[in-house]
Amino acid sequence: MQQVLGISISLPTNRQPLQIERKMRFRRPQLRVPQSKSAFADGNARWTNLDLDPVPQSARLWGPLSFIDFAAYWISDAFNSATWQFASSIIAVGLTWRESIAIVAVSFFIISFVISANGAVGAIYHVPFPVIARASWGFWGSYIAILSRSILAVFWFAIQNVNGGNAVKAMIGAIWPSFLTLKNHIPESQGIETNTMIAYLIFFIVQFPFLCIHPNKVRWLFIAKSIIVPIAWIAILIWAFVAEGAGPIFQQKATVSGSQYSWLFLASMTSVLGNYATLSVNQSDFSRYSRVTPKWQLLYVPMLPIVFTFISFIGIVASSAGWSRYGGDIPWDPIELISNWSSRSCRFFAAFSFALASLGVNISANSISAANDLMALFPTYVNLRRGQILCGLLSWALVPWKILESAGNFLNFMSAYAVFLGPIAAIMLWDFWLIKQRKYDTLALYQPQNPIYSFAGWLVNWRAVVAFLAGVAPSLPGLINSVNSGIPVGVGVHPYQFGWILGFVGTSIVYVGLSMLFPVPAAMIERPVLADEIYDMREGAVDSVAPESAEEIRVQNKGEKEFI
């Protein structure tokens, strides 16, 4: 047998013709994702893969300028069509600009504490939300929290796709005006026209490559968006004051009063809280990549109310100016507003800012969140990239353009899932900061056979389940009524109208009470076990630290230990 140019030639010994055998290799499609070879997997691929493992030191790239990274992330997340529509859509249903601004400011002041507290856990232990949830819910119990969040993340991804598609439609219309009057071939009952669907497809295609980018690299998108979009929106604010002196909306009075006023106020607050209910539990999906101490998470408490309230103020002033200048109803949809402008170049660039806004928030708040959830559900076959792509595909099945048909529907949608995520955020917050005294064992979070988080072998913390049901149950009648108004529930609709606050407070009381009455001794560990300790203990660890970053990491580890 001889090898000639990669061809195996068999020389005959019995005068047979030459047997020429070409080596051909076929690679079967690889459905499984790379599995962790670290001590975290412990031979059980059911609970982790490389993307679910704690982020090693060399992969924590959100720093040393983490202030810029996280500030850009939140500014990017804040500047989106939904934030613009908060206050203006509240005005559209009967309240004044004063109540609208107050609702946005108070709501984000409340939720900033929850985001900061839950984000600190990821910054300390460098693990994502689905893994952190195992400490308070148990391994199987965590699926309740994971499924609840993943559904809302996919929904919001779909809605931002529609917002982005509408912005692309306005961009194309500014270049090619006849596109806006393109003949419709889609039945009217579907709630979308042909030109809008084309724009929706274009936005989705442009967005698709970003679904394949790792969170460590996508932060540059947030920085770019945090520069471009604020400049464009501040320019719109200036136009509103110059064009119409901000319009007559500042003299408007509320069209509701009495108890209706109070319930509408609470319902609007729940809607605002519901919009960022996902980030109240999943901030760790990004903070896990941080190289600085967890104290940076406190940045959110003053920053979020200021940034989000300012954007809502832009929405109010711009909508008011549009109302005064163009007549008709309040244009609470910003694309509807800019479509009235006579300057095609202004329409194009303003619409581009809204398309970029939708793209950035879809990555920062929705696709990566959903990807982490789907990865936790199917770690053998789904990683971060596949999870984001799957989120994008699932979003098509939700027909999101029907949700955005009116201000009332928009508020109802944001209220709906908040009733589930408020209790989840409460359980995770109090479990870490009060019940477990900030002490988690990172290794045990990946090993169901470890007694620390096995909850007597059931892998479900019944205390969390009972507290969750107690927080959600009062809002269920109102939730049912919002889905089908033909089902009368009487006064049962009112708890739903402030479902996030009621669910958060009620679940907090029940969970803390049950955890103190029926403690889990195995989970009360003497000291926290950080991910770096496990990596350092591994023989032949794959993680390596560049010499120039050794001092920075030493300071970071010291800061984490001091914080906990």
- Cα gap 277→473, rounded to integer Å: 18
Residues listed for the chain: 564
Contact between 434 and 136 under an 8 Å Cβ cutoff? The reply is: no
Kindly state whether residue 549 falls inside one of the protein's structural domains: yes
Kindly state whether residue 219 falls inside one of the protein's structural domains: yes
pLDDT tens digits, 166-201 = 999 999 999 999 999 899 888 887 778 899 999 999
Kindly report the average pLDDT of the chain as a whole number. Answer: 83
pLDDT of 21 reads: 44
pLDDT of 423 reads: 95
Tell me whether strands 7-10 and 2-4 are parallel, antiparallel or unpaired: antiparallel
pLDDT of 444 reads: 94
Confidence of residue 3 (pLDDT cuts 50, 70, 90): very low
Residue 244 confidence (pLDDT) above 80: no
Kindly state whether residue 94 falls inside one of the protein's structural domains: yes
The closest of 475, 472, 474 to 483, measured between CA atoms, is 475
Q: The tokens of 428 are what?
A: 């995770």
Contacts of 466 (CB under 8 A, 6+ apart): 510, 514
Residue with tokens 């009470």: 513
Kindly state whether residue 29 falls inside one of the protein's structural domains: no
Kindly state whether residue 512 falls inside one of the protein's structural domains: yes
- Cα gap 161→247, rounded to integer Å: 30
Work out the percent of the chain whose per-residue pLDDT is above 90: 37
Confidence of residue 6 (pLDDT cuts 50, 70, 90): very low
Give how many domains the chain has, as a whole number: 1
- Furthest CA-CA distance within the chain: 106
Query: How far is Cα of residue 333 from the mean position of the Cα atoms in its chain?
Result: 22
Kindly state the average pLDDT of the residues 58-87: 76
Highest mean pLDDT among 145-159, 247-261, 403-417: 145-159
The closest of 528, 534, 535, 536 to 564, measured between CA atoms, is 528
Range of lowest pLDDT (12-26, 142-156, 329-343): 12-26
Kindly state whether residue 433 falls inside one of the protein's structural domains: yes
Q: For residues 28 and 166, which has the higher predicted lDDT (pLDDT)?
A: 166
pLDDT tens digits, 278-287 = 788 888 998 8
pLDDT of 20 reads: 42
Kindly state whether residue 26 falls inside one of the protein's structural domains: no
Q: For residues 309 and 65, which has the higher predicted lDDT (pLDDT)?
A: 309
- Domain span at 380: 50-562
The amino acid present at 404, given as its one-letter code, is L
**Which CATH number do you get for residue 383?**
1.10.4160.10
Kindly state whether residue 335 falls inside one of the protein's structural domains: yes
pTM, full prediction: 0.84
pLDDT of 96 reads: 85
Residue 274 confidence (pLDDT) above 60: yes
